[in-house]
Structure 1
């Protein structure tokens, strides 16, 4: 299970948000009911938010290091 502020990577593209598979974001909220989901913030190189998306656990993987 992921924790708040974990850095994650998308396993699949989210075309509606222009996010490719492999995009890197940060978990900013965790939902546990009715099932686990994560609000993930994606930012550009300048730190500006480009997307804020709620994702199912299987759509992301923790990025180590």
Structure 2
């Protein structure tokens, strides 16, 4: 199960700024009305690209 502070990557393009394979950190886990995650996605330099609400099929656990 994915939890806060886990490192994840996107499994598909989620926005213009977030391509498939983009890495990020889970900053919040939502459980109601369905499971979702607030993820801060970053570039290779650690700069924030975007913070998005995503669903389990949108991300994959890396750590």
Could you state the TM-score of these two structures normalised by the residue count of structure 1?
A: 0.85
Aligned residues: 63
Partner of 2:7: 7
Give the Cα–Cα distance (whole angstroms) in 2 for the partners of residues 11 and 44 of structure 1: 16
**Post-superposition shift, 1:47?**
2.8
For structure 1, the residue ranges without an aligned partner over 5 or more in a row are none
Confirm or deny: 8 A CA contact 1:11 1:59 kept in the other structure: yes
Supply the RMSD in Å over aligned alpha carbons: 1.3
For structure 2, the residue ranges without an aligned partner over 5 or more in a row are none
Could you state the TM-score of these two structures normalised by the residue count of structure 2?
A: 0.87
